Structure 1
Amino acid sequence: MTHGICGLGRMGAAMAERLLAQGVDLVVWNRDPAKAAPLVAKGAKQAESPAALAAACDTVITMLYDAAAVEQVYSGPQGLLSAAPKGKLFIEMSTIGPEAILSLGQAVAAAGADLVECPVGGTIGPAREGRLLGLVGGSADAVALARPTLAHLCRRVEHAGPLGAGARLKLAVNLPLLVYWQALREAMGLVSDLSMTPEQLADLMADTSGACMAVKHRAGELAALLAGTGEPGLAFEAKGAAKDLSHMVETASAQGQAMPVTAAARDAFIAAAAGPIAGRDAMTITALDWAALRAARR
């Protein structure tokens, strides 16, 4: 069975490396063809278009930035669905809103193919090691078809329900972490005038009942960030955090649920990602005001 991956950003490329390491026959495509070169060197084949990839593969994985990119790759000129994909399986792993997944599901079904959504929890390291958390939506039959592929990539596959359920579960999984980074930014502001070193503060915050797993694992990176001596690795780009928070608020609003805390975090990330933390990890919002506040209070 031949697999394909469309989208070779950090996560897509890491998943492609994992599949190649597992001996999977793999075809890859990316809008920037140069990103495929390292994977071709490891044994992947390169397709000239999404349509060509779909024609060559039984199962197609897509890992793209947003709903607009997903729409273009599936339904645009030379898109996946232009290749008469009847009987093929598509596994959409991007983080997009549930409405976009439902719309995509209709398009894929009309083409006679199956769609499973599987946005994931985890970053590049877990992707390379097959330790992602798969948050799946789709019919039971389609999910059964996808499980052998997902087993290469995920330590746990959670079937949440029909299409759209995986997208909602992914937003729920991401929400506490993203709100936490903004909350930690505000917490750091409360103690910016203390004589404690950044290392002491980071260690203490990681040891509290309110700390999330991310800060417990990344306390050293947080200390270096506060001290101005290091930049955290790019695990979750701030722009992506702003996008996901926007999806969270929109999805909740459609369900009649108010999300004032999440909306405030969304606004903070939108502003920061457009300026001082553009292109940086979402964690960097925690130190956005730190140096200025510390200098002003001393």
Structure 2
Amino acid sequence: MRIGFIGLGRMGKPMARNLLRAGFALTVRDVSPGPVQELTEVGAEEATSPAEVAERCDVVLASLPDVATTEAVFLGPDGVVSRSRPGQVLVDHSTIGPATARKVAEAASKKGAAFLDAPVSGGVERAADGTLTMMVGGDSEAFQKVLPVFRAMGKDVRRVGDVGAGCVVKLVNQLLVGVNVVAVAEATALGAMAGVDLPAMFELLRTSWGASTMLERSVPRFLARDFSPAAPIRLLRKDLGLVQELGEQVSARLLLARAAQEVFGEARAMGLEESDITSVLLALEQGDVE
């Protein structure tokens, strides 16, 4: 079974590298030559277009930055679906909305191919060590077929329903990420402005009900003032936009998601769009400007 991987960015490149380590035959495609060269030097083959990846591979995976790129890669004139065939499985690991996933799945089904939406969570670190969480939507038979492929990249891999369900779970996760990182930053700014010892405060919070994954991730960055972009604000703002779109579609009240998006908007206005999501602290440290 030959695997194709399109999109070798922060997440895609380490995910693709883990497929090589697991022994899969791999064909890769990216608009940037650098990551392609890195992987071809360790055993991957290069394709010149998404369509060529589809021609050469039994399973095609993609990790892409936004909805527009996903639609272009899968549905464009030289896209994956243009050369898809019966029995093939197409997978998108990107963070997109469920409507986009269903659109791609419908096009793939006309060629006899299956489509799975399989967004991931865990960041660059867990992408590198192959322990990502993967939430998958789509046909159960197709899921079982590619499960060994998924397990080369992820530790907790689960099918959560039909096409689009994986996207919904990922957007729920991104809502929690956005709200939590803003809450941790707001709490940190409050503690600092009130004059408490931050390291001592953080140690107590770690064993209190306020503990969270985002607290654990944020604390070292806050203390070191290290906002290098492992997870840039730009991408989380995009995800929170998709969360709000989904909320409108299902008539959900998303008060906290909107509030978090507003704070990230303030950070963007400060020029922090490419900084890590924890840099939202810098916006909150300005205090109440009203």
Q: TM-score range by the shorter chain?
A: over 0.9
1:122 aligns with 2:118: no
Q: Which residue of 2 aligns with 1:23?
A: 23
Give structure 1 regions of 4+ aligned residues with deviation exceeding 6 angstroms: none
CA RMSD, aligned part only?
2.0
CA shift, 1:161, in A, is 0.5
**In structure 2, C-alpha distance between the alignment counterparts of 1:114 and 1:289, rounded to whole Å:** 45
Q: How does 1:194-273 map to 2 (within 5 A)?
A: 194-225=194-225, 231-273=226-268
Q: Which residue of 2 aligns with 1:169?
A: 169
**In structure 2, C-alpha distance between the alignment counterparts of 1:187 and 1:24, rounded to whole Å:** 46
Q: Mind listing any 5+ residue stretches in structure 1 that lack a counterpart?
A: 226-230
CA shift, 1:233, in A, is 4.5
Q: Which residue of 2 aligns with 1:228?
A: none
Change (3 A) 1:256 1:293: closer
CA shift, 1:210, in A, is 1.4
**In structure 2, C-alpha distance between the alignment counterparts of 1:53 and 1:99, rounded to whole Å:** 24
- What is the TM-score when the length of structure 1 is the normalising length? 0.90
Q: How many residues align?
A: 289
Q: Which residue of 1 aligns with 2:131?
A: 131
Q: Mind listing any 5+ residue stretches in structure 2 that lack a counterpart?
A: none
Q: Does the 8 A contact of 1:203 with 1:219 survive in 2?
A: no
Name the amino acid aligned to 1:30. Answer: D
Q: Which residue of 2 aligns with 1:283?
A: 278
- What is the TM-score when the length of structure 2 is the normalising length? 0.93
Q: Does the 8 A contact of 2:119 with 2:135 survive in 1?
A: yes
CA shift, 1:207, in A, is 4.1
Deviations 1:219-263 (A, max 9, x none): 2222112xxxxx144332111111111111211221111111111
Structure 1 range deviating more: 67-76 or 234-243: 234-243
CA shift, 1:49, in A, is 0.7
